[in-house]
Structures are given as C-alpha cells and as structure tokens.
Structure 1
Amino acid sequence: MTDAALQIAVVGHTNTGKTSLLRTLTRETGFGVVSARSASTRDVAGVALLCDGAPMLSLFDTPGLEDASGVAEALAALPDATDPVAGIERFLAGDHGQGRWEQEAKVLRQMLRSDAALYVIDAREPVQAKHRDELRLLNACGRPLMPVLNFVASDEADVERWRSQLARMGLHVQSSFDTVVYDAVAEQALFDKLATLLEPHRAGLQRLTQSRTAEREALTLAACRAVAVMLVEVAGLRHEVPLDADPATATEGLRHQVRASEQRCVDAVLALFQFDLQAYHPPELPLTEGRWTLDPLDPEALRAFGIRTGSAAATGGAAGFAVDAALGGMSLGAATALGAGLGAAWSGAQTFGRPWLDRLRGHQVLVADPSTLALLAARQVALLRALLRRGHAAEGPVSTRNAQGWPGIALRDAVLRARHSGSVAEASGTRAPNEADVSAVTARLITVLGDTARESSAHSD
C-alpha cells in the first residue's frame, strides 16, 4: 500500500467493529473479515483514503485486544518502567509472554508506528474494567487517541454513559459513527474531531472531507440520473399493436420493455453504491440479488407502494378470465392477478393512445399507465434512500419505508411532462431519452432525496 501523509491505527477490544468501520469509511464491503467469532482479525491490514486521487490518510486494522490487564502487569514488572513508551518498546523487543500476548504486541507495534489511533467501542456494551485497562495501555504509547462509539443507532446503545465515562478518563474528544446505519454528517464530524487532535494535519483532513463530500454529491447525482433516464425512457415508450389484438399478447411487448428498462436502472444504481447484491431481499425491500421480486405491472407491487390502480385493476380482472385458457392451465387466481396488471397497461392505452389511432390506420399505441410510472418512481426512490443510509459494514437486508404513491408532486409532473412532450428522441440513429426531460427529472429526484440528508443531520453529533 502507498504510504499516506497521516497514519491512523484502528484499535479496540475484540468484535467492536474495527473492520466494519474501515469497510464503511473505504466503501469496500469486502475489506477484512467481519465475524461474530472472537478475534476474526489476526494481522494488521492497511488501506488508504484518497483525496483527488492521491493517498491522504492510511488506516490500519488491528487485531482485537483481549488481555490488556495481563500486558499492563508485564509492563509494570519491567525494570525502569517509569517511561511508558520505553517500557512498551522493551516489551515488544521480548517474547510477548512466550507468545501469550502476540495479538496485543501487534496492536502496540502499530500504535507506535502511527500518528494517532481510533479506539472503536461497541456502544451497546456496558462500560467495563477491560475497557479502562485497554485505554490506559493504549495511552501509554504516547499517541493521540480518539474513542469512536459504534452501533449508536441501536436501541441498546448507551451513548451518554459512554461519553461520561470516557470524559472521566480524560478523553473529551470523542466521535459517534455507526458503521451499519450510515450518516454522512457523522463521518465528516469524525474527521473534524480527528483534526482537533492532529492540528498540523488539519488542512489535509479538511481537504479529505471536502473531497469525500464532493464524491458523495457526484454519487447521488449519478444515481438520480440513472433513475431519471429510466423514468423518462418508460414514460416515452410507445408500443404499437393492431386494434383487435388480444390484451395479453398486446401488452407483453410493453411489459418486456418496462422490465428491461427498470432492471438496467437497478443494475446501474447498485454498481454505483458498490454493495453486495445478496443483501437485498424481502420483506424490507422486495429486491433479491439485484432484481425486484414483483413485476412493475403486477397489482401486488402497486398495492405494496400504496398506489391505486382504480378501474384499471377491475378491467384487468375481467381480462384475467379471458386469458385463463390461453395461459396453459394457469389458475384462475393467477390469471386474474396477471389480468389486473395487464388491465392497468391496457387502461393506459385507452387514455393516452387514442390520439394516435387515426394516424396509425388500424393500430393503437400502448403506453405505460401513470400508476406504473408512480410505482417505478416510488420504489427507485425507496432504494436510493436506503442505500444513502446504509453503511458498507451492514450485512442484514435493507430496511426502508415504502413510499406511498408518487414520491413528490414536482417529480410526478416532470415525468408526465416527459410523456406528453414526446420525450423519446432520435440520437445517432438510436432512440434515447430527451436530455432536457432527464435533467428536469434528475433535479426533482435530488430534491426528494434532500429529506434523507436532513434525516442524516438530525442523527449526527
């Protein structure tokens, strides 16, 4: 790894979330080993945080401390133990208690090599004697030490008690940063507080936070644009069919285009955020391995997001009876459910396709129903909100509140304007969404996601 200007050791008791902290700070779900098993990190591993493409800060993941009391006793028994740093150097030059304290020796060696250290605490645990012993041992290394309270979003966390006890030990500069429930404001506060301990490096740390803020904004913009492209693309779809076409056959082409467009969007968004696709599954968010579990024209998907299909669902129900025999023995209930989805699309065709009928001489044009567009917008916004609040150490399913209907009136109006403006334009011989419409929808999505940023600020220090 390329050396950065600033070296930071990440230390703490076993299973407090040291590796998890690094995963979230580096945006790498695959960094290190995260396990409930004791001492899952056995060796020191380093990673650099970049600023404008150059390494600004090196973070070193260290093994968990398990017997700080034993090491402290060994240090006290050394001759001339009045100089704490010299005592630790002498301890490291020995056999580490015949290998008994090999893990602690790795931590202390990295402490002496570093400019400062982050002491990661599981705020769900009570304050114990082992924590005080560890802090005394680490302080003996003569390096600035900042406690980082992890898992503070948990109902089990006792943050105020920890803050009070740390202050009594002289550790007044503290940070709260949950590695599972991500908070961009808390991350910036972590680096700001670290700069308080490392005044000569303040300017570099400020450049780092500015760079990461810009990266976050660019990520949000790119994700919103991916969703906007999909919404404008689907809003502009025009599927031509004969006037006497069977609804099931006629709408399948439109259904395929809608599915494909939304899947391209999901793939793009997940790739931008660099999350493990296995993390997304029901019931919190109906996405499995990067794919929605419910078709965008399925009435159950619409109901899950509080979107009413009105008479379209009733029309679809009737269509379900008609297509039952043609679907090779599909159950009546399944055919009716399918018909409800088809009915929504068919209803849209009657509403928006009629002006095209005379021009097409015996054909009609199907378009996506407004309720389908509402569903697409609602579940993509739900996904974006969940990803923006998810730390890269999170291993459980995404937890989110489903939107109820359109996420915003301005967003709805921008998408529907794209539909009526003939938004699908010719570009280099291929059909592509109109850039003006994409920009307008992107801007509305960013406004909608502003609520997520404000929620994040409310949870910060």
Structure 2
Amino acid sequence: MSAPVFAVVGHPNKGKSSIVATLAQDDSVQISLIPGTTAKCRHFPMKVDGEVQYILVDTPGFQRARQVLAWMKARATTAAERTAVVCQFVESHRDTGKFVDECELLEPLIKGAGILYVIDGSRPYGEEYEAEMEILQWTGQPSIALINMIGQDSYIEEWRAALSQYFRIVRVFNAVTAEFHKRLELLKAFGQLREEWRVPLSLAVKTLEEDRRARRQRSASCIAEMLAGMISLRVTKRLSSKEDAQSHKASLTQKYQAKLRSFEQKGRRAIEGIYDYHELKCREKEIEVLDEDLFSLDSWNIWGLKRRQLLTTGAASGALVGSGVDLAVGGSSLLLGATIGSMVGGASAWFSYNRIADVKMLGLPLGGTELRVGPAGNINFPYVVLGRALYHHAAVTRRTHAQRDILSLDNATETASARSLPEQQRKKLEKVFTQLRNTEDNNADPTLVDRLAGIIENIMEDSDRIV
C-alpha cells in the first residue's frame, strides 16, 4: 500500500512551506519571508519508526497563472481534455526556461499527488487567484483549500465563499499554531477525497496517535531520570587533616550547582529530541543555582508548592520517616514516631523554604575528612524542578515545526506549577522523592525511577485532556 502524496501549492509567501513543516513534523523545511525561496519541489516524508505514513511536497509558487490558463484554454475544447492539456503544458515547457515555476509545481500533480491549496486569510481575496484555482481544477486531482492566517486581519468569510466554488473541502488551518488534533483532523478529511487513501490515512492517524503516546511515555521517563539524578546528587571532596574545609566549601558548592544546571539542560535537550526538534533555540532566564536560592525566589514562588502545601507535604514526608521508627520498634511506640516525624517534617518544610542542600563534613575511617554537598533535602526542590520540566514539555509539544522563533521559557502559568497537582498525586510523588533523598552513591533505584515516570506520565495525560 503506497503512501499518499500531497503537493502543497499556491501563491508565493502564503505559508506553503510552513504547512509542510507542520504536517511533516520536520524543522529542516526552509521557511523564509523572501518570495521565491522554494524554487524546486522537495519531498518530505512523514515517518514513524522508519515507516512512511504520507509524503508532503513543497512547491514553488504560481508566477504567471493567467498566461498558463490562457495557453491551456486555447487547446482544450471540452472538460474531458483538460487533464491531458495540463500534462501537455508541462511537457511543452519543462526544458524551455519559460513558466519554470508552474511546470515545477504541476509536475507532482500530473503524477497523482493530491492538492493542498494554501492562501493567506489575513489578506483580501483577489480575482488573480481564480486562474490558479482553475488550473488546479483542470488537473483532476482531489483537493483541499487551506486558509492560513499569517497576519492579524481576517478575510476568512470572503475567502471561504470564493474557495468553496473550486474546492469540496475548505479549512482554516494556521500552520504555526495548529495543535496535534487539528493536524489529525486534516488527514481524516483527505481520506474522504479518494477511496484508496481512506485506509492508509486512517492507519496514519492511528499510528500518529500511538506515536504521540510513546513520545509522552519516553518524555516522562526522561524527566523522571533527571529528577532522580538531581534529588539524589551528592558532590564530595576528600581533605587531609591539614586542609581547611572552609576554603573548599565555595568551590564544591559551585560544582554542585553546575551539575544541577547540567542535569536540567540535558533533560530539556532530550525532550526536544524526542519530539524531533533538532534546530530549536531556547531563550531562558539565567538559571542561578544557589545554595539558598534556586532559579530565584520568584521562580520558586511560581513553580513550587505554596507554603501551606509545603507544610502538608513536609508533614507527610516526616510521617514516612517516623513510620520507619515505629516499624523498628515493632509498633510499641504507639505511632509516636509518625507523629513526631510529621511535626518535624512540617517544620522543616517551612524553615528550609529557600535551601536546597546542606554542606557537611564527614570523618573518614583512615583519617582526614570528606566535604559533601547534597543530597537535595529541600522538600520544595523536586516540585520546582518538576514544574519547570512539565512547562517545558508542554511548550515543546504544543509547538509546531513551522515555528522558527525562539522558544521562550521566561513566563510560567499556574497550571504548569506543581501547586496545581491534586493532593493525591503530590502524596504519590512525595513517597518517591523521600526514598530518592536516601539514595546512596548517586545511584537511584531503577524501580523508583520507573514508578516516578508512571506518575509523571499520568500528570501529562491529565494535562493533555484539559487542553
């Protein structure tokens, strides 16, 4: 079963290449405001796991549609002759240097490609477009008209009235902002135009949905691994008995900060790679990882839990530790350990609000000391990191491959912060976070990481449903 081929055609600078980039999920498609950037047809297959689902053809824009149509009308007396005349036009002018763009864009159509005709709905309708639309009709290929919104003004209704005279299906489709479900709806619409496309495009839609779920699952695992690494991170330095530990404290703290920063940056680049954004440039606020201030206090106020939530979470975390005391004494403490742990945990959450990790000096069996920074004992820390990771993931998944502006992560939303998570999810997270803080040798238990990934994936699914 061959993959359907769609040629994206229209006037120059109406967003054809942007449509191709979005539907092919390919940020290598060249997009420019300069007319004539696309001079030759380029094929962009949409692949999932190496299997081609459909192919988009980026084409040059019409240049002299009226002259082309006049040539064709002079040679076709009946509708039955029109398709053959289109082929005759391409054969007659292919190597003459005349009507170069028209020959190039008509080539895939005479070979059977479906038509995606793109116009800019922010510009007024004009009669000069009618020659283009009539030529496309003459090809006899199934077609859809897409009203792409490039500017702020809207002439959608007058365009819709004109386009409906030539095309069976007319859709408003913004290549830059089209969400995932909008792209799937467009594929489903194309499946209605030609019988032999119905099955392959239905399979393509199903495959793309499954692929989306698989990418989300991989992203959740990636964020879980990043979080586990950041929470359990310990940086150490052995000192002789003659060395002053205080003089090494600042440099070791800086090393700890740099490793935290590296964890987050690598995690973000991995997420972008999962969604095939290989050319994405990000603009982010400088990440200041300080012992008492991670991402700045303002950022913590946006991404982390509120103090009331911190007290509840800290109490729950302390209760987990206290329960260990109860179990150790066979329950004879009458759950006093859990009560004390809850009180201490709650107080710790309040008073360590601006601290990430302690710097400790540990004695070594053979003499000397070991200076250690970490693990991240601040209860709010993983929620801040998780909130930022979820926001970045949402920004990437809702972005199309036609967007070429810098991905800005300067601003946050309330729904992206950890404080918006239901209490039940926070409890599940805190159980895992507490165990990760007790991890030895910067080596998190894979079972814990998998459990954390499952919770994060559920959070992502809930967020997608809301959107």
| Aligned residue number for residue 192 of structure 1 | 188
1:371-425 CA-partner distances (Å, limit 9, x unpaired)? 4333322222121111011111111122564145425435654443333214675
| Aligned residue number for residue 306 of structure 1 | 301
- After superposition, the Cα gap between the structure-2 partners of 1:208 and 1:346, relative to the gap in structure 1 and judged at 3 Å, is closer
Match of 1:435 among 423, 446, 453: 446
* Inter-partner Cα distance in structure 2 for 1:305 and 1:150: 39
* Inter-partner Cα distance in structure 2 for 1:449 and 1:66: 46
* Inter-partner Cα distance in structure 2 for 1:448 and 1:157: 37
| Aligned residue number for residue 40 of structure 1 | 37
| Aligned residue number for residue 459 of structure 2 | 448
8 Å Cα contact 1:345/1:367 also seen in 2: no
Query: Is 1:70 the counterpart of 2:67 in the alignment?
Result: yes
Query: Is 1:398 the counterpart of 2:433 in the alignment?
Result: no
Match of 2:163 among 155, 163, 166: 166
Q: How many residues align?
A: 405
| Aligned residue number for residue 7 of structure 1 | 5
- Cα distance, 1:302 vs structure 2: 4.0
- After superposition, the Cα gap between the structure-2 partners of 1:407 and 1:4, relative to the gap in structure 1 and judged at 3 Å, is farther
| Aligned residue number for residue 409 of structure 1 | 421
- After superposition, the Cα gap between the structure-2 partners of 1:296 and 1:135, relative to the gap in structure 1 and judged at 3 Å, is farther
- Cα distance, 1:455 vs structure 2: 5.9
- Cα distance, 1:301 vs structure 2: 3.7
Compute the RMSD of aligned alpha carbons: 3.7
90-99 or 44-53: which moved more?
Answer: 90-99
- After superposition, the Cα gap between the structure-2 partners of 1:238 and 1:420, relative to the gap in structure 1 and judged at 3 Å, is farther
8 Å Cα contact 1:66/1:104 also seen in 2: yes
| Aligned residue number for residue 135 of structure 2 | 137
The one-letter code matched in structure 2 to 1:420 is T
SS of residue paired to 1:370: coil
Query: Is 1:419 the counterpart of 2:454 in the alignment?
Result: no
- After superposition, the Cα gap between the structure-2 partners of 1:257 and 1:88, relative to the gap in structure 1 and judged at 3 Å, is closer
8 Å Cα contact 1:302/1:371 also seen in 2: no
Tell me the TM-score normalised to structure 2 length.
0.75
| Aligned residue number for residue 275 of structure 1 | 277
Identity %: 21
8 Å Cα contact 1:5/1:55 also seen in 2: yes
- Cα distance, 1:28 vs structure 2: 1.9
Query: 5 Å matches for 1:10-29?
Result: 10-29=8-27
Query: Is 1:112 the counterpart of 2:103 in the alignment?
Result: no
| Aligned residue number for residue 54 of structure 1 | 51
- Cα distance, 1:177 vs structure 2: 3.3
189-198 or 18-27: which moved more?
Answer: 18-27
* Inter-partner Cα distance in structure 1 for 2:53 and 2:272: 27
SS of residue paired to 1:432: coil
* Inter-partner Cα distance in structure 2 for 1:166 and 1:229: 51
* Inter-partner Cα distance in structure 1 for 2:362 and 2:430: 20
1:17-52 CA-partner distances (Å, limit 9, x unpaired)? 222222222222113x32111111111111323366
- Cα distance, 1:348 vs structure 2: 4.3
Query: 5 Å matches for 1:31-430?
Result: 31=29, 33-50=30-47, 53-78=50-75, 80=77, 83-95=81-93, 99-151=97-149, 155-167=152-164, 169-239=165-235, 245=246, 248-249=250-251, 251-277=253-279, 279-281=281-283, 285-286=284-285, 293-297=286-290, 298=293, 301-304=296-299, 306-307=301-302, 347-349=355-357, 366-368=374-376, 369-399=378-408, 401-404=411-414, 405-406=417-418, 408-409=420-421, 412-422=426-436
8 Å Cα contact 2:83/2:140 also seen in 1: yes
* Inter-partner Cα distance in structure 1 for 2:39 and 2:60: 5
1:422-460 CA-partner distances (Å, limit 9, x unpaired)? 46757xxx743223332333233334334653465xxxx
* Inter-partner Cα distance in structure 2 for 1:227 and 1:240: 25
8 Å Cα contact 1:181/1:390 also seen in 2: yes
The one-letter code matched in structure 2 to 1:45 is R
* Inter-partner Cα distance in structure 1 for 2:69 and 2:170: 24
8 Å Cα contact 2:234/2:442 also seen in 1: no
- After superposition, the Cα gap between the structure-2 partners of 1:127 and 1:433, relative to the gap in structure 1 and judged at 3 Å, is farther
* Inter-partner Cα distance in structure 2 for 1:54 and 1:377: 34
8 Å Cα contact 2:261/2:287 also seen in 1: no
8 Å Cα contact 1:118/1:145 also seen in 2: yes
The one-letter code matched in structure 1 to 2:385 is L
- Cα distance, 1:63 vs structure 2: 0.9
Q: Which runs of 5+ in 2 are unaligned?
A: 308-350
The one-letter code matched in structure 1 to 2:83 is V
